[in-house]
Structure 1
Amino acid sequence: MGVESLIQYVRTSSVRTDIIGALCPGAKATNELLSAVTASESAIYDALSNLEGRGLVTSMDDRWRLTGTGRLVADTIHRQQRLEELFAVDSQYWESHDTSVLPQPFRCRLPEVDDYTVIRGTQTDINRPVREVVSRVESVPHCDVVSPVYHPEYESAMPDNDESRLVVSCAVIDEMLETESVSLDINRFEETTVRVTPVPYALAVADNWMIITLPELDGAWPSAKIISETDGAISWARDLFTHLWEDATPVEMYLDGH
């Protein structure tokens, strides 16, 4: 039975799923499992026998533990459950926005963005998301920002110091060089380090919050933004920024090439 089939086998039974989950912290005696899993004794014994038969759990000295295969299956199920929890907060958002713009390793880590809020513009308050970003950026001494489009309010709010970093999309710089419709003032940032790279999403991360903006599936640039203040979300955002930052070109080098 393949790994996917094993995962499906476990998840099609709440008893099997609960047993696998109960054994994640470590081995348990049979009586401990009977207390930890909400099911009849016969159902638990039957599930244990079947899980053992498929190489997911093993019994030693009347203590049940996960096998190596069982541990990998348990980890996968845990990630699936966290992803389901992510969707449950605001399923409409995930259905209408393009997550493919994120690097694959960071899509896999999206469940780390837990306990988040989606800030949307409304007919009566279309600028609410912009105000939320500006308010948060202005309130912190430093932050890291990824800007795929030019927005004068964001530029004005961005702190200028040696602890802040800014990644600007190539498209913004190119338009600035080709036309007068964009007036991004790179010289405004005397201390903030600025780099340039192609980027299809917006990101801002500070010590106590993160904000990400993904494009809509129809290609439109959205106003809806995900905001989270959890440690997991902030760590995810910092790693994503670092991933982008390391491959970006210093703005001075980019301008020299043009």
Structure 2
Amino acid sequence: MDAVLEEIEFLALSANRVAVLDALRGGTHTRVDLEAETGASQPTLGRILRDFGERNWTERTADGYALTATGRLIADGITDLRAIVETELKLRDVVEWLPADALTFDLLALRDATITVPTRTRPSAPLRRSTGLIGRAGRVRIVSHTFNERSLEAVRRRTVEGDGAQSFEAAFSREAIDALAEDDDLRDRLVAVLESDAAEIRVCDDAVPFAVTITEDVVQLLLRDDDGVLQAALESDDEGVRSWAREVFDRYWRDATPLAIDALESGGEGDS
């Protein structure tokens, strides 16, 4: 086996070795400190520290054990690798629906994301998560290729029945607006939202490749398959993701055309 892979295997086969490296990244530790922080027994710690010492990853000091320069290199590297693999595992089942070409932030930003998928007992879980987010927020901004009935109703309740409890700004694809305009009930609800001083909706002539919702502290991506079926709701409060979402919203918002009520009442054929 390649010497590099042997060293990777040496670490990967022992959670305690990784835990000791991670603890020492924070500074010098005694063996008692390491036992308390990692949960490893003293005999186990003895073997680990001996192995690390033979590799010159650690050194004994007056205050305990510390990482050497190369030990810190290894510790930082294994931490980065863990983060990468944790992120990949989290995204593995939904990556095929991610709008990857449009995501300019590092995917590691999604390491702590919350992902909601349909289950047998809760097939509508992603949609419920989405409407729940909209229903709680004081400010909502959306860029999307779709606007479903339940989301529209959640917005209507907050902007109209809630007497402006929510500020709502959205840039939708023309297809999303036309779909609502074709249904009398949904068109009436959309008109009610537009009549509210708390809401403004614009229409994008260009294709919108994603469904992004921005609230005060969370960004949500709705992930759909090629047939338009909602497969997951992904939420992140990472600042890199939030910055990306704000930039995306601002770009589409600037280029979109304000949606006029009379366009809806005439069948959704145009905007002014």
TM over 0.5: yes
1:119-138 to 2 correspondence within 5 Å? 119-120=117-118, 129-138=126-135
Note the C-alpha offset of 1:110.
Answer: 1.4
1:28 corresponds to: 29
Residue of structure 1 aligned with 2:212, choices 196, 203, 216: 203
The number of residue pairs the alignment matches comes to 236
Q: Given that residues 105 and 244 in structure 2 are in contact (C-alpha distance below 8 angstroms), is that contact kept between their aligned partners in structure 1? A: no
Note the C-alpha offset of 1:142.
Answer: 1.4
For 1:41 and 1:125, locate their aligned partners in 2 and report how far apart those are by CA, in whole Å: 47
For 1:176 and 1:148, locate their aligned partners in 2 and report how far apart those are by CA, in whole Å: 6
2:238 corresponds to: 235
Note the C-alpha offset of 1:55.
Answer: 5.0
Note the C-alpha offset of 1:19.
Answer: 0.9
2:112 corresponds to: 112
Q: Given that residues 195 and 245 in structure 1 are in contact (C-alpha distance below 8 angstroms), is that contact kept between their aligned partners in structure 2? A: no
For 1:100 and 1:251, locate their aligned partners in 2 and report how far apart those are by CA, in whole Å: 24
For 1:199 and 1:48, locate their aligned partners in 2 and report how far apart those are by CA, in whole Å: 55
Q: Given that residues 143 and 212 in structure 2 are in contact (C-alpha distance below 8 angstroms), is that contact kept between their aligned partners in structure 1? A: yes
Which secondary structure state, in structure 2, belongs to the residue aligned with residue 64 of structure 1?
Answer: strand
For 2:6 and 2:242, locate their aligned partners in 1 and report how far apart those are by CA, in whole Å: 35
Which secondary structure state, in structure 2, belongs to the residue aligned with residue 145 of structure 1?
Answer: strand
Q: TM-score, normalised by structure 1?
A: 0.64
Q: Given that residues 34 and 41 in structure 1 are in contact (C-alpha distance below 8 angstroms), is that contact kept between their aligned partners in structure 2? A: yes
Q: Could you say if the C-alpha distance between residues 128 and 21 of structure 1 is closer, same or farther in structure 2, counting changes exceeding 3 Å? A: closer
Note the C-alpha offset of 1:28.
Answer: 0.5
CA offset digits 1:188-230 (Å, max 9, x no partner): 38654758565433232324655432233xx2323243366xx
2:170 corresponds to: 166
Which secondary structure state, in structure 2, belongs to the residue aligned with residue 120 of structure 1?
Answer: coil
Q: Given that residues 195 and 248 in structure 1 are in contact (C-alpha distance below 8 angstroms), is that contact kept between their aligned partners in structure 2? A: no
Note the C-alpha offset of 1:79.
Answer: 1.4
1:151 corresponds to: 148
CA offset digits 1:114-158 (Å, max 9, x no partner): xx4625276x97656445533442343211223122435434544
Q: TM-score, normalised by structure 2?
A: 0.62
For 1:109 and 1:27, locate their aligned partners in 2 and report how far apart those are by CA, in whole Å: 29
For 1:119 and 1:194, locate their aligned partners in 2 and report how far apart those are by CA, in whole Å: 29
2:49 corresponds to: 48
Note the C-alpha offset of 1:101.
Answer: 1.9
Q: Does 1:225 align with 2:232?
A: yes
Q: Given that residues 98 and 214 in structure 1 are in contact (C-alpha distance below 8 angstroms), is that contact kept between their aligned partners in structure 2? A: no
CA offset digits 1:57-114 (Å, max 9, x no partner): 3433352233441342243145157437x64xxxxx842552552426342221121x
Which secondary structure state, in structure 1, belongs to the residue aligned with residue 224 of structure 2?
Answer: coil
Q: CA RMSD in A?
A: 4.4
Residue of structure 2 aligned with 1:250, choices 254, 259, 266: 254
Which secondary structure state, in structure 2, belongs to the residue aligned with residue 109 of structure 1?
Answer: helix
Percent of aligned pairs with the same residue?
A: 13
Long gaps (5+) in structure 1:
88-92
Q: Could you say if the C-alpha distance between residues 133 and 62 of structure 1 is closer, same or farther in structure 2, counting changes exceeding 3 Å? A: closer
For 2:142 and 2:7, locate their aligned partners in 1 and report how far apart those are by CA, in whole Å: 42
For 2:108 and 2:95, locate their aligned partners in 1 and report how far apart those are by CA, in whole Å: 16
